[in-house]
């Protein structure tokens, strides 16, 4: 069975600094997708970044980038030049061939002015 683990319940970063959120996963599949979602207090789920496992190149979206280590089953999110609007809950998620979409427990990110 697939599992997704986020070991940091809470993180804090100073505005304009860089922060890295950790995510590890477990699967026996070779072809799958990984996601980072942002959930502000409104509870809306906002896609931050998406990585296809067969692509070795790390995905980037503006200030957001990932460090995808397939052999280590690690998928961390780096947020550069942090902004106050980045404060939210961040979820790592796994989608594979079994049609299941599995989420981690989340990391609550605070951004200090």
- Closest CB 4 distance from other proteins, rounded Å: 8
| Residue among 64 and 103 whose Cβ is closer to other proteins | 103
Whole-number minimum distance, CB 81 to other proteins, in Å?
A: 27
Gap between the Cα atoms of 41 and 48, Å rounded: 16
Q: Which CB atom, from 16 or from 47, has the smaller least distance to other proteins?
A: 47
Instruction: Give residues in contact with other proteins (CB under 8 A).
Output: 6, 9, 33, 35, 43-45, 47, 50, 52, 91, 95, 99-106
Instruction: Please give the sequence-ordered ranges of beta strands (E in DSSP) within the chain, or none if there are none.
Output: 3-5, 10-14, 19-21, 24-26, 33-39, 46-52, 60-61, 64-69, 74-79, 88-95, 101-103, 107-112
**Which of 35/75 has CB closer to other proteins?**
35
Q: Which is nearer to other proteins, 64 or 80 (CB)?
A: 64
CB of 36 to other proteins, least distance (A): 12
Alpha-carbon distances, residue 61 vs 5, 10, 51, 109 (angstroms): 23, 23, 11, 18
Distance CA 36, CA 49 (A): 5
CB of 84 to other proteins, least distance (A): 23
């Amino acid at each position: 069975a697939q599992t997704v683990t986020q070991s940091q319940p809470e993180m804090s970063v100073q505005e304009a600094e860089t922060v890295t959120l950790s995510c590890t996963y477990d699967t026996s599949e070779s072809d799958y997708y990984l996601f980072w979602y942002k959930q502000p207090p409104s509870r809306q789920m906002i896609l931050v970044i998406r990585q296809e496992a067969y692509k070795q190149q790390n995905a980037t979206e503006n200030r957001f980038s990932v460090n995808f280590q397939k052999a280590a089953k690690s998928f961390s999110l780096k947020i550069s030049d942090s902004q106050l609007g980045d404060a939210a809950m961040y979820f790592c998620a796994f989608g594979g061939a079994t049609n299941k979409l599995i989420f981690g427990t989340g990391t609550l990110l605070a951004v200090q002015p």
